[in-house]
């Protein structure tokens, strides 16, 4: 069982890699550990600890409450950078706040309130659980019908199914641009057009897309979006999420959590809620400043690299993983659980194996390969292009082959851990 791709060929890809220099701008504590889970929690940028120390000591320690003069609109300033370099949006259309789940609740609530004559919400039955639960809650509270589209867990949502479900009663469609499990990538422009023709709105979740694949919210006619900053954007555990509302829609939408950070002349402390017309009307409360500060140096790296180059390398990493998996892992019982072509995926790929969970644990414990497991039987591999080497993908697939072939994983417990 040998692949046509030798380790020397992977070394050549590393030597020719235009982004190779970015790896040293991240903390790589153990160079032997192969980290293929940047799609769950991106690595720590080397500049982040000093930046946070500065914000803590100078901003909080010395400046105290006076520092809020400079901090108050940091979420909007970071939002403008994200809009320009990552999301293809215009200034004043993106802001960082809250979490992805909470932003999803706010924007879905706003969109549903603005479509009182329509009673149906469409979601992908295979979407990330928080999206399904948030929409289930909203639909229940408002007496709406929640329709779950049966998509292919490996191949993604069939747009013919979406087209036939888009009748005149649909108010809102919630979809992930890149599926969290299979990595399936949707055609944003086509989905937006289908929904527009049916008079429905689309709320996009860009959590597994932002910083991994090119996104052009303006050109594709997108209206609403949310997403994480701690995956491919490397903002750190629980860093604030982003939300996007197309400029033309902002004044006409009102989100359901009426907090003082959305209020006109906030510090006048007026008697009644009267939100600002712009993107900040979708804010609620005091931002988690330290987590927000960590997004700043992380975003600088993505800006410097550029999403086009990140995507180009992501496709190459995907092709390498595919070829090695076909040659080495398929004979051991693995099967691809993602679209066949890397262009139809985000930056991660999933593989089915009946013992995926035990193999995943063994890889981390005995083989220094961190990837992740997703129920019911998938191993998910996410080589984040900013810091992952081609030789790491080669070595990781080689170690997966060895761990699976020698079957030491069979001594492990099949019980799931608290976090997988």
**Of 91 and 137, CB closest to ligand PLP:** 137
Q: Which of 22, 35, 230, 261 is catalytic?
A: 230
Say which residues have a Cβ less than 8 Å from residue 220's Cβ, sequence separation at least 6.
88, 188, 189, 192
CB 127 to ligand PLP: min, Å: 7
Residue 260 counted as an annotated binding residue: yes
Q: Which DSSP category does 416 fall into?
A: P
CB 226 to ligand PLP: min, Å: 8
How far apart, in whole angstroms, are the C-alpha atoms of residue 292 and residue 349? 29
**Of 48 and 100, CB closest to ligand PLP:** 100
Residue 348 counted as an annotated binding residue: no
**Of 180 and 334, CB closest to ligand PLP:** 180
Q: Which of 231, 313, 358, 401 is catalytic?
A: 231
CB 348 to ligand PLP: min, Å: 11
Are 383 and 42 a contacting pair, CB within 8 Å?
A: no
**Of 99 and 300, CB closest to ligand PLP:** 99
How far apart, in whole angstroms, are the C-alpha atoms of residue 27 and residue 47? 9
How far apart, in whole angstroms, are the C-alpha atoms of residue 356 and residue 374? 9
CA distances 45 to 25, 228, 257, Å, are 6, 17, 33
Locate all alpha helices (DSSP H) within 114-158, ordered by sequence. Answer: 129-142
**Of 215 and 320, CB closest to ligand PLP:** 215
Annotated catalytic residue 133: no
74-82 helix and 289-305 helix, angle to the nearest 10 degrees = 20
CB 100 to ligand PLP: min, Å: 4
Residue 71 counted as an annotated binding residue: no
Task: Round to the nearest angstrom and report the end-to-end CA distance of the chain.
Answer: 30
CB 42 to ligand PLP: min, Å: 12
Annotated catalytic residue 267: no
Q: Which of 106, 336, 380, 389 is catalytic?
A: 380
Annotated catalytic residue 128: yes
Annotated catalytic residue 7: no
How far apart, in whole angstroms, are the C-alpha atoms of residue 86 and residue 308? 10
Residue 100 counted as an annotated binding residue: yes
**Of 19 and 233, CB closest to ligand PLP:** 233
To the nearest 10°, report the CA torsion of 273, 278, 279, 280.
Answer: -40
Q: Which of 17, 80, 124, 205 is catalytic?
A: 205
**Please, which residues bridge with residue 243 across strands?**
95, 226
Residue 30 counted as an annotated binding residue: no
Q: Which of 22, 35, 105, 128 is catalytic?
A: 128
Q: Judging by DSSP bridges, how do beta strands 94-96 and 34-35 pair with one another?
A: unpaired
Annotated catalytic residue 281: no
3-state class (DSSP) for residue 356: helix
CB 11 to ligand PLP: min, Å: 33
Query: Which two tokens mark 379?
Result: 């191993």
Q: Which DSSP category does 184 fall into?
A: B
Interface positions with ligand PLP (CB under 6 A): 99-101, 128, 130-131, 176, 180, 205, 207-208, 228, 241
Binding site for pyridoxal 5'-phosphate: which residues? 100-101, 205, 208, 230, 260, 286
Active site residues: 128, 205, 230-231, 380
Binding site: which residues? 100-101, 205, 208, 230, 260, 286
């Amino acid at each position: 069982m040998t692949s046509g791709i030798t380790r020397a060929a992977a070394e050549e890809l590393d030597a020719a890699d235009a982004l190779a220099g970015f790896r040293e701008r991240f903390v790589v504590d153990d160079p032997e550990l192969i980290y293929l889970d940047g799609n769950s929690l991106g690595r720590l940028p080397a500049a982040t600890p000093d930046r946070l120390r500065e914000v803590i000591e100078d901003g909080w320690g010395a400046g105290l409450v006076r520092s809020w003069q400079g901090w108050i609109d940091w979420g909007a300033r970071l939002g403008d950078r994200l809009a320009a370099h990552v999301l293809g949006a215009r200034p004043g259309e993106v802001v960082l706040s809250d979490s992805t789940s909470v932003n999803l609740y706010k924007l879905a609530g706003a969109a549903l309130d603005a479509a009182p004559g329509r009673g149906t919400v469409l979601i992908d039955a295979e979407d990330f659980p928080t999206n399904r639960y948030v929409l289930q809650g909203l639909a229940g509270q408002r007496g709406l019908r929640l329709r779950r589209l049966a998509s292919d867990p490996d191949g993604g949502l069939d747009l013919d199914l979406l087209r036939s479900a888009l009748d005149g009663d649909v108010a809102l469609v919630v979809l992930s641009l890149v599926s969290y499990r299979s990595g399936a990538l949707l055609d944003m422009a086509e989905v937006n057009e289908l929904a527009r023709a049916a008079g429905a709105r689309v709320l996009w979740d860009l959590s597994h897309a932002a910083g991994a694949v090119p996104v052009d919210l303006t050109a594709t006619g997108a209206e609403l979006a949310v997403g994480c900053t701690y995956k491919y954007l490397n903002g750190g555990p629980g860093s604030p999420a982003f939300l996007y509302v197309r400029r033309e829609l902002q004044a006409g939408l009102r989100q359901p959590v009426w907090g003082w950070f959305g209020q006109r002349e906030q510090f006048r402390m007026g008697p009644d809620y009267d939100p600002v017309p712009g993107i900040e009307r979708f804010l609620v409360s005091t931002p988690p400043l330290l987590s927000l500060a960590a997004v700043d140096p992380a975003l600088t790296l993505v800006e410097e690299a550029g999403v086009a180059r990140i995507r180009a390398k992501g496709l190459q990493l995907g092709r390498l993983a595919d070829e090695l998996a076909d040659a080495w892992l398929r004979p051991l019982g693995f099967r691809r659980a993602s679209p066949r072509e890397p262009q139809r995926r985000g930056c991660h790929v999933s593989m089915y194996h009946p013992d995926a969970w035990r193999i995943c644990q063994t890889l981390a414990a005995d083989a220094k390969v961190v990837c992740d497991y997703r129920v019911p039987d998938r191993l998910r591999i996410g080589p984040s292009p900013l810091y992952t080497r081609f030789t790491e993908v080669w070595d990781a697939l080689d170690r997966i082959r060895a761990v699976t072939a020698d079957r030491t994983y069979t001594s492990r417990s099949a019980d799931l851990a608290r976090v997988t």
